[in-house]
Structure 1
Amino acid sequence: MAKKQETAAPKNFPSHGVFVVEGEDEKAHWTKVGAAWPHQDGDGFNVILSALPVNGRIVIRARKEEQR
């Protein structure tokens, strides 16, 4: 069985941002509410939220180079 490629970011640096998105298309409002790190085996994420949204949808996006 082939070993999965390690994709984990350094321990204290999130690889993804977590956002709550309200609305659709260009009128959508994005609010950052947390961060996510991939599990060491690549099969999931640890997510830390600084706020718990009560409406909208949660979106997890990879951080861009300029955000790192």
Structure 2
Amino acid sequence: MVNNQNENQTNQQSQNAPDFLAWHVIDKGEKSFWNKVGAAWKHKDDKGFTIQLEVVPINGRIVMRRPMDDPRN
């Protein structure tokens, strides 16, 4: 039953637009390089988030931004 719940939650998330996008940011001197690595959805009770990462970076940092923001500005 737990697998069905997790599968349903994942399917539901993929149909809903994320509340935040996850960006892996690497600073190289005066430039920063941003690569999208995942997304986050708010819980219905507004007390947390579900984060889905496509990759797990080993360096740099992860920045969460609202989807309409351009992280490069």
Q: Which contiguous aligned blocks of 4+ residues in structure 1 show a shift greater than 4 angstroms?
A: none
Structure 2 spans left out of the alignment, 5+ residues: 1-11
Amino acid at match of 1:64: M
> Which structure features the higher share of helix residues?
2
Equivalent of residue 38 in structure 1, options 35, 42, 45: 42
Identity across matched positions, percent:
41
Structure 1 spans left out of the alignment, 5+ residues: 1-9
Deviations along 1:1-36, whole A, 9 cap, x unmatched?
xxxxxxxxx842211100111107861000100010
Task: Judge which range, 34-43 or 22-31, deviates more.
Answer: 22-31
Equivalent of residue 60 in structure 1, options 29, 45, 64: 64
Question: What do you get for the CA RMSD once the two structures are aligned?
Answer: 2.3
